[in-house]
Amino acid sequence: MIVVRRPFWVGDCFAGIALMVLMGFVVGASLALASPHAPHGMVTVDGVTVPEIGPMPTQVPTPPTNLSYAEKVELGKQLYFDTRLSKNNSVSCAFCHNPGTGFADARQFSIGAFGTAGGRQAPTVYNTGFIPLQFWDGRAGSLEEQAIGPIHNPIEMAEEHRTVVPKIGKIPGYQKQFQLIFGGGASLQHIAEAIAAFERTIVSQNSAFDKHAMGEAGAMNEAAVRGLALFRGKARCILCHNGPNFTDNKFHNLGVPQVGPTKEDLGRYLVSRAEKDKGAFKTPTLRSVVETGPYMHDGVFKTLEEVIDFFDAGGGSNPNLSPLIKPLALSSEEKGDLIEFLKALTGAPLKVTVPKLPK
């Protein structure tokens, strides 16, 4: 049995919508805005206005083409843990996005089906249902599209459409489930839809910060409260890590040192072909961030302390460095307070049992 984070669900979607509407009022009451002239629900730091941080919504957006229900989620959970999606039956989704390590990979670079290491750190699955573009470079426009990518990637699962679908489709237990859920046999799209349905249940929320933002006295310790003020002010973290999911869902070049097998990773540029996107990578969520190290797209930093030192120094040297990055002149005490606040973003625990797979 593996301890991870549990989403708190509200069955009535109108309750979720109501919470999102009220969220701005609650956050506005419990958090002092950096600028009194910013629009409601927004915060301004050094002349830049961004969405305010706040509690996570209780309803994960679900596409109308892939409605979620228990049987589909259970099938997706089985497929998520099934190594038979890989060429040599050696790795599964959970191999690189491990529930025991924050649905991320504790290794700097994940190892594929044939022992080959990739060039990027496997990001967490936490709250990916709230993120419009997947992968560090945003090349996938949905969780369904993302689920297919690693199956075909030659240095990940190394499988092919023409072989993986028959392999999964001939398993009697899966045959029954695909027929029940999709009204037909296995297909690559159905595999992806089931995995995505499961991944949308992986939500980090109901953290100490959420409770604090909703007005619960003493939910965060004094150091975390000071860290929150720094996060929204002097430390400038909120300029990129904003909104309830603590990400602007955009791509920035931070001058992160490039390490690993890739000599120069151009990031978002490989998708957009825009010069400004060279070396830019997606802003990750900070939800349950203490669980998901190492950090950055290439896992170059092992600890959050290293990450904060990097930003305190003004990032790295790069001609496309984001203009949002500036030296911060943080004291050691302020850095400690920021760490305490980041700890307060850890969501409520849940129990995930590795499913029994059909033979």
- Cα–Cα nearest to 81, from 176, 206, 202, 204: 202
The owner of tokens 């297909």 is: 187
Q: What local confidence, expressed as pLDDT, does residue 58 receive?
A: 86
Q: How far apart are CA 353 and CA 289, in angstroms?
A: 22
**Is residue 253 within 8 Å of 280, Cβ to Cβ?**
yes
Q: What local confidence, expressed as pLDDT, does residue 104 receive?
A: 97
> φ, ψ for residue 172 (rounded to 5)?
-55, -45
Q: What local confidence, expressed as pLDDT, does residue 39 receive?
A: 55
Domains observed in the chain = 11-59+208-343 (1.10.760.10), 70-202 (1.10.760.10)
Q: What local confidence, expressed as pLDDT, does residue 71 receive?
A: 98
Q: How far apart are CA 134 and CA 343, in angstroms?
A: 25
Q: How far apart are CA 19 and CA 13, in angstroms?
A: 10
162: exposed, middle or buried (Cβ count in 10 Å: 0-12, 13-18, 19+) = exposed
Task: Kindly report whether the peptide bond that precedes residue 294 is cis, defined as omega within 30 degrees of 0.
Answer: yes
Q: What local confidence, expressed as pLDDT, does residue 350 receive?
A: 79
Q: How far apart are CA 235 and CA 335, in angstroms?
A: 9
Q: What local confidence, expressed as pLDDT, does residue 352 receive?
A: 84
3-state secondary structure of 267: strand
Per-residue pLDDT in tens (0 to 9) along the chain, 359 residues: 344 433 333 333 333 434 333 343 334 434 443 444 455 599 999 999 999 999 999 899 999 999 999 999 999 999 999 999 999 999 999 999 999 999 999 999 999 999 989 999 999 999 999 999 999 999 999 999 999 999 999 999 999 999 999 999 999 999 999 999 999 999 999 999 999 999 999 999 999 999 999 999 999 999 999 999 999 999 999 999 999 999 999 999 999 999 988 788 999 999 999 999 999 999 999 999 999 999 999 999 999 999 999 999 999 989 999 999 999 999 999 999 999 999 999 999 878 889 999 98
**Is residue 114 within 8 Å of 158, Cβ to Cβ?**
yes
* Signed CA dihedral, 118, 119, 121, 125: sign only: negative
- Cα–Cα nearest to 156, from 91, 214, 203: 91
Q: How far apart are CA 295 and CA 108, in angstroms?
A: 8
Q: What local confidence, expressed as pLDDT, does residue 38 receive?
A: 54
Residue 147: enclosing H or E segment and its boundaries? helix 143-152
**Is residue 71 within 8 Å of 78, Cβ to Cβ?**
no
* Signed CA dihedral, 143, 148, 151, 156: sign only: negative
